[in-house]
Amino acid sequence: MADKKTFFLDFKQENENMDEKHLEEYLSEIVNSSEPYEEFKKVPRKKKAVVFLELPKHLQKLFSKKMKISRIIKILKTVDPGDIVDFLELFTDRKKKRILKEFDSSLKKKVEYLLQFDPECAAGLMSLDYITIRSNSNFETIKKKINSFLKKNEKPPIVLVKSEDGMLRGHIAFTQFLFNEPRDLEKKIEEIPYVKYNDYYEDIIPRVKESEIDAIVVVDEEKQILGMIKTPNLIRIANNQGTKDVFKFAGVKKEEDMLDNAFSKFKSRYLWLILNLGSVFLAAFIVSLYEDTLSKLVLLAIYLPIIGGMGGNAATQTLAVVVRGIVTHEIDRKKRFRVLFHEVGAGLLNGIVNGILVAIIAYFWNGNAMLGLIICISMIINLVVAGFFGTLLPFVLDRLKIDPAIAATVFVTTATDIVGFFVFLSLAEGLLV
């Protein structure tokens, strides 16, 4: 028993002293360097693969072209097959084949096994970074497996338990092996969430929330263990997904890179700018209907950008929150009405506060209390509309299988401009002119 405890505690102590820098520090030094590849070469070999996978896309492309096969092989020897697959996806097919030839037969077989799956589905995201045991395994067998694992990995393994016919039964916390004899293991088996091999990213994220450890298991139709998805890998995917949504939200395609040429950037953006142009003309048409009112009271034109701008900004804030909630699955169907109610309520409160402020400014600037009241009412209505459409439109577009991150901004900006201008100019025409 003492030998067993010493074995694991020694490993833990060594592992705690292993990091020389935090990942963020490496990334910051590389990204902000005038010679990023030279900075990347300074990263310790055991950390290079992890750092590489976290780098911006344009740097990954640049480094993959510069790295020699021999250097790539040295880096890949430090990671598990699942991370190797992620790494290889960034190289050309020709370079990928040359790298695979350098692997030993066992590693090559594992990598080729993982490469055959769709990279977007559960099987394409999984790794083989775990060990499997049966509940009746003796400690010597378990110790050999863990010893073998630790020779190739820095962190302790996740221990999956399977039945005699290979079906997933659950997992046993690594710490249990410090204090329990093999005969007690049956009582230590805990449930672990699992997904089918053909489930996609959107289906996997909700299951991650159910896991108390940093992984979920991938199984086939018969619940046989195929692999495991590590939470850090999903976080990286989620961050990338979030980045794509930010780009789409601004009308920029995910393929656009910071260093793309002018024509590539033009192709990525022109369609959404044209659609926005159409919405601007629609709002201008509403203003043109009140041409006589504006000609009689020119100072109304001063406040039109304020009404439109505040509505657009409030709608964008709401859109950002709602789209993020949809993407991360934080907002399900049961929560949608509550989200709508709260966002409209927030719009009402913000409208009252900002409306009163603008009304006070208008009164002291123009000496017209009625104008201040009209602006206040218009601001309140427009920010309520911003909260309503900023919440409702993403839900509707998502239901119609249209990406809300792409389309919602055009529609909601049009809605707030039209409603805001119409209310403001209608009230002005009825009460001031």
Say yes or no: 213 and 280 in one domain. no
Looking at residue 289, which CATH number applies to its domain?
1.10.357.20
Would you state the pLDDT for residue 212? 65
Say yes or no: 295 and 359 in one domain. yes
pTM over 0.85? The answer is no
Say yes or no: 91 and 151 in one domain. no
Would you state the pLDDT for residue 242? 53
Would you state the pLDDT for residue 178? 62
Say yes or no: 112 and 138 in one domain. no
Looking at residue 46, which CATH number applies to its domain?
1.25.60.10
Say yes or no: 94 and 64 in one domain. yes
Looking at residue 147, which CATH number applies to its domain?
3.10.580.10
Q: How many C-alpha atoms does 351 have within 13 Å on its Cβ side? A: 29
Helices (H), 259-403: 262-288, 291-296, 300-327, 336-366, 369-399
Q: Is residue 124 part of a domain?
A: no
Q: What is the pLDDT of residues 240-265, one digit of tens each?
A: 555 555 455 545 555 455 555 677 66
Q: What is the pLDDT of residues 304-320, one digit of tens each?
A: 888 888 888 888 888 88
- Range 239-246 contact pairs with CB under 8 angstroms and sequence separation of 24 or more: 241/201, 241/327, 242/324, 242/327, 245/323, 245/324, 245/327, 245/405
Q: What is the pLDDT of residues 9-65, one digit of tens each?
A: 343 343 333 344 467 788 888 888 888 888 888 888 777 877 887 787 778 778 878
Say yes or no: 194 and 162 in one domain. yes
Q: Is residue 136 part of a domain?
A: yes
Q: How confident is the model at residue 183 (pLDDT cuts 50, 70, 90)?
A: low
Domain span at residue 158 reads: 131-230
Q: What is the pLDDT of residues 147-169, one digit of tens each?
A: 777 776 667 778 888 887 778 88
Say yes or no: 85 and 153 in one domain. no
Share of the chain above pLDDT 90, in %: 7
Helices (H), 157-214: 176-179, 185-188, 201-208
Dihedral sign for Cα atoms in the order 406, 408, 413, 415: positive
Instruction: Count how many domains the chain has.
Output: 3
Say yes or no: 270 and 348 in one domain. yes
Q: What is the pLDDT of residues 340-387, one digit of tens each?
A: 999 999 999 999 999 999 899 988 888 888 988 998 999 999 999 999
